[in-house]
Structure 1
Amino acid sequence: MYVPSAFRQDDLVQLHAQMRDTGLAVLTSAGAQGLLASHLPLLLEPGEGEFGTLYGHFARANPHWRDLAEGTEALVVFSGPDAYVTPSWYPAKAEHGKVVPTWNYIAVHAWGQAEVFDDPERLVRLVRRLSDQHEAGRGQPWSVDEAPRDYLDAMLRAIVGFALPIRRLEGKWKLGQNRSAADQSSVREGLATSPNPRDHELAARMNVND
């Protein structure tokens, strides 16, 4: 990922927060089967290793896990809020017209090599923790323990788990930091009043990261 210094995010707490906030990550690798990408919900253990460890699982029918089992390096992409930025929001447009459209966004990239496993007890612990993470906050959260054990065992046989210690972590917060304060303020206001709710989220992040 190309990361100019103005957009670089090195704060591990913020990087981990964005990773947890990204519901569905994209795990990519280039191995014997070529370039592969899988969309996966992941669990982050921040205290395991220098940058944390990611846990997840594939459908056993997905051939992607086989490349990871062979030691192929993986890149995991966590995409945060993003929004189109029109030149019309820049006060500089009225001053000299030397403005062009851009796209503001937040993204985190994590690299590592995964350990693949299919031990049923280890898998059920992973599935339970992933479910608990995404059920949290619901009025009546569903639990893995509600499923009949024979059904659960059959489902566990259909997946393969992995642990991916993060060896390298990179964050990009492209929020207009290279623009003037007036331009940044105007873009933030434009995003905050946009009819697209996704734009509002990015506007809020611009406030946080002033």
Structure 2
Amino acid sequence: MYCPAAFRQNDLPSLHAQIQASGLAIVTSTGAQGLQASHLPLLLEPGEGEFGTLYGHFARANPHWRDLADGAEALVVFNGPDAYVHPGWYPAKAEHGKVVPTWNYIAVHAWGQAEVFDEPERLLELVSRLSERHERGRAQPWAVSDAPRDYIDSMLRAIVGFALPIRRIEGKWKLSQNRSASDQAGVRTGLATSNNPRDQELAARMNHTD
């Protein structure tokens, strides 16, 4: 990921927080199947290994997992909020006109090699924890145990799990840090007054650049 120093995020707790906040990750790798990308919900165990460990599962019918089983390195992308930056938000536009549009965004990239597994009890623990994470806070949260065990067993046979210790991690918080304070304030105001919730979310992140 191209990451100028002004946008680089090195704080591991902040990187982990963004991973936890991201709903769907993009797992990419290249191997015998060619260049592959799968969109998967993942769990992060921050305390496992130097940078944490990611857990998830593929559909068994998805050939992507076979490349990971063969030792292919994976790049996992976690996208945060992003927004178009209108040049008119910069006070500098009125001063000299030397401005152009850009895009602000937050992203985390993590690299590692995965251990692939298909033991039923280990898969059951994984899907149970994934469900608990995303059902948390609901008035009537669903649990894996709500479904008949024979049905769950058949579903477990249709997936393959993986554990991916993070060997390298990078974060990019592109939030107009390379602009003047007045231009940053203009972008923040423009995003905050937008009707797009993602614009508003990014404006809030500009107020707390971690």
What is the TM-score when the length of structure 1 is the normalising length?
Answer: 0.99
- What secondary structure is seen at the aligned counterpart in 1 of 2:137? coil
How far 1:2 moved relative to its partner?
A: 0.3
| 2:190 corresponds to 1:193 | no
Tell me the residue number matched to 2:89.
Answer: 89
Q: Give the % identical residues.
A: 80
Tell me the residue number matched to 2:178.
Answer: 178
Q: CA RMSD in A?
A: 0.6
How far 1:197 moved relative to its partner?
A: 1.2
Q: Equivalents in 2 of 1:197, 1:18: separation in Å?
A: 17
Tell me the residue number matched to 2:107.
Answer: 107
How far 1:62 moved relative to its partner?
A: 0.3
Tell me the residue number matched to 1:30.
Answer: 30
Tell me the residue number matched to 1:52.
Answer: 52
User: Over residues 142-165 of structure 1, what are the superposed CA-to-partner deviations in whole Å (9 max), with x where a residue is unaligned?
Assistant: 001111000000000000000000
1:176 is matched by which residue type in structure 2? S
How far 1:100 moved relative to its partner?
A: 0.4
Tell me the residue number matched to 2:130.
Answer: 130
The equivalences for 1:134-153 within 5 A come to 134-153=134-153
- What secondary structure is seen at the aligned counterpart in 1 of 2:35? strand
- What secondary structure is seen at the aligned counterpart in 2 of 1:173? strand
2:196 is matched by which residue type in structure 1? N
Q: Equivalents in 1 of 2:98, 2:177: separation in Å?
A: 17
2:71 is matched by which residue type in structure 1? G
- What secondary structure is seen at the aligned counterpart in 1 of 2:122? helix
Q: Which runs of 5+ in 1 are unaligned?
A: none
How far 1:195 moved relative to its partner?
A: 1.5
How far 1:64 moved relative to its partner?
A: 0.3
Q: Equivalents in 1 of 2:55, 2:119: separation in Å?
A: 14
| 2:21 corresponds to 1:21 | yes
Q: Equivalents in 2 of 1:141, 1:205: separation in Å?
A: 30
Tell me the residue number matched to 1:68.
Answer: 68
**Structure 1 residue runs of 4 or more that deviate by more than 2 Å after TM superposition:** none
Q: Which runs of 5+ in 2 are unaligned?
A: none
- What secondary structure is seen at the aligned counterpart in 1 of 2:111? strand
Tell me the residue number matched to 1:207.
Answer: 207
User: Over residues 131-150 of structure 1, what are the superposed CA-to-partner deviations in whole Å (9 max), with x where a residue is unaligned?
Assistant: 00000111111001111000
